[in-house]
Structure 1
Amino acid sequence: MHASAPQTLPLAGKTALVTGVSRRRGIGYAVAAKLASLGAHVMIHHHRPHDLDQPWGGDDLEAVRSGIRSALTPDARFADVGADLADPRSALEVIAAATSLTGALDILVCNHAKSGDDGSILDMTPERLDAFWDVNARATLLLTAEFARLRASTTSAPRRPGDRIVGGKPYPEPQGHVFWMTSGQIHGPMRGEVAYAASKAALAGLTPTVAAELLELGIIVNTVNPGPVNTGYLDPDTTDRSLEEMDRFLAETPFGRVGAPADPAELIGWLSTSAGSWIVGQVLTSDGGFSLG
């Protein structure tokens, strides 16, 4: 019998930064573990104080680190950085920390999000809207800008409407991947989550513009809407909402369940490889048909 050939690792030699990785039940953790299993060096960002204010609470960060390390392939590197992305200075610091892991940064997954302390349109205040915008939208844009600057020539003049970023195309392969995470606001109302939906809608709306600009640098930008994913907020003992109608509703959905963190992680893992590199500038709903129910 012949020994089986070793499987290739499509992300071997690539370095990935995944933000918002502070809980083993979270999407960010699943994404980081998936990218690690594909051969990537992985840097994770976390901000545990946010979780401590939520009904599901914080996780053991050392257990989070250990779990990602266990998913790494031989010789792959791992590190983590803590930062409050509500601080506009943190984007540069987090990107710099990620770049220092191997000297390069190839994949950026902006998974971080502020949740909690939201409300209906009647509950909106400038402070509440700003808090969600600062973390969910502004930080994502600033992280993306710093990631892109690693590959862009410097210019002192701001670009005018219609001006293209000058890159070095054509490119034999993608020069980087950026993933944003949005929500289901495009498929229906999100009652009581106006500030969250507003900040995520901004990312969905901006996806084609930023994708078109960064494609000039060979960077591929896509946004993933994972639909409802139970990261603890749909468990009876840690939920932040009423679950009275959930069982009945789920029985009418295609698979009879909400998503698991591994579901969007599989999509992001695939899109990060050469196999998924022809998909550009899309807002991709990965919800098992939940929005069709």
Structure 2
Amino acid sequence: MTRLDVTRLDVTPAGTALVTGVSRRAGIGYAVARRLLDRGDRVVVHSWSPHDAGQPWGADDVDAVVAALGSPPHLPADLGDPDAPAALVAAARAAAGPLTTLVVNHARSALGRLEEVTADELDRSFAVNARAAVLLTRAFAAQYEPAAGPGSVVLFTSGQHRGPMPGEIPYALSKGAVQQVTATLADAVAGRGITVNCVNPGPTDTGWAGPAVDEQVAAAMARGRWNTPEEAAAVVAWLTGPDARSVTGATIDAEGGFRR
């Protein structure tokens, strides 16, 4: 894996966070990074634009994304590489000091009904979404220093534990694994003062849906609209802040009243 060169920061923040999947200004990762920066955290952002480039919504200008956040340290990495999670955490620590917060927001988005699913896509989705989440958590916990501040990990799942996702089997499988392993990871690091929780943000408007899906989902929402990335970011801010230290091993279903 290519060595990641970074510039170290020297400002003392409220916390020090690595946020993965910050590649689009319309995305949840961007909103999370913005929210943490606004409360005074030092933030390192990660992206992998080649994934977005292959999706219908396309890639954003990552340089512009990072600039809009005030140019925090930015580390591109393909988290499908088994060595990438540890290298990413190490590079983030080199840039900003001991990490107190890890937000695993990135995802490989893959459609596929049962009759269409392939072993290759199942493996790729599991590697990026589930395996990387565990390896990132392991690397984060290994570098964590309690003196730097309370530790917290926030993982992201989808709604497969609340209802079927028949058109997204690779995604549902891998994100379901993330949700299922949350309590186990939380138990593994609880003695070190680290919380681990999982967020299901529900249908969130990140610019991926066409008009037909847009209307269908909005009609299924109790509030008559999609959730926003900023609403997901608010949940992350709470879970990584001082008021949620007793919450660990939980899945927060912040779906906005989504009716399946």
Could you tell me the TM-score, scaled by structure 1's length? 0.80
- The alpha carbon displacement at 1:44 in A equals 0.3
2:77 counterpart of 1:83: yes
Alpha-carbon distance in 2 for matches of 1:253, 1:141: 32
Match of 1:51 in 2: 52
* Higher share in helix: 2
Residue 107 of structure 1 pairs with residue 75 of structure 2: no
SS of the aligned residue for 2:58 comes to: coil
- Give 5+ residue unaligned stretches, structure 2: 1-11
**Structure 1 runs (4+) greater than 6 angstroms displaced:** 171-174
Larger radius of gyration: 1
Distance 1:197 1:229 in 2: 16
**What residue in structure 1 maps to residue 231 of structure 2?**
263
2:16 touches 2:98 (CA, 8 Å); kept in 1?
Answer: yes
1:235-250 equivalences under 5 Å are: 235-236=210-211, 243=212, 246-247=214-215, 250=218
Q: Is the 8 A contact 1:175 1:217 kept in 2?
A: no
Matches within 5 A, 1:136-215: 136-151=129-144, 175-215=150-190
The answer (yes or no) to whether the contact 2:99–2:144 under 8 Å persists in 1 is no
* More displaced stretch, 38-47 vs 249-258: 249-258
Residue 173 and residue 42 in structure 1: after superposition, are their counterparts in 2 closer, same or farther (change >3 A)? closer
Which residue of structure 2 lines up, in the alignment, with residue 254 of structure 1?
222
Instruction: Tell me the alpha carbon deviations over residues 74-114 of structure 1, each in whole angstroms, 9 at most, x when there is no partner.
Output: xxxx2000110000111111101110123210100000100
| Residues 1:213 and 1:61: Cα distance change in structure 2 (over 3 Å) | same
The alignment yields a C-alpha RMSD, in angstroms, of 2.0
Letter matched to residue 58 of structure 1: A
After superposition, the C-alpha distances for 1:128-148 in whole angstroms (9 at most, x for unaligned) are 110100000001111100001
CA offsets, 1:197-235, max 9 Å, x none? Answer: 000111111111111111011110000000111111114
Please name the residue that 2:119 is paired with: 126
Supply the distance in 2 between the matched residues of 1:125 and 1:251 (Cα, whole angstroms). Answer: 33
Identity %: 42
SS across alignment from 2:17: strand
In structure 2, the CA distance between the partners of 1:251 and 1:122, relative to structure 1 (3 Å rule), is closer
Q: Is the 8 A contact 2:227 2:255 kept in 1?
A: yes
Q: Which stretches in structure 1 are left out of the alignment for 5+ residues? A: 1-10, 71-77, 153-170, 237-242
**What is the CA-CA distance between 1:174 and the residue it aligns to?**
6.5
- In the other structure, the counterpart of 2:254 is 286
Q: CA deviation at 1:151?
A: 3.6
> What residue number does 2:7 align with?
none
CA displacement, residues 27-46 of structure 1 (integer Å, 9 cap, x when unaligned): 00000000000100110000
Tell me what 2:39 maps to: 38
Distance in 1 (alpha carbons) for counterparts of 2:69 and 2:178: 28
- Whether contact under 8 Å (1:254, 1:289) holds in the other structure is yes
Give, as a single letter, the amino acid of the residue that structure 1 aligns with 2:21: G
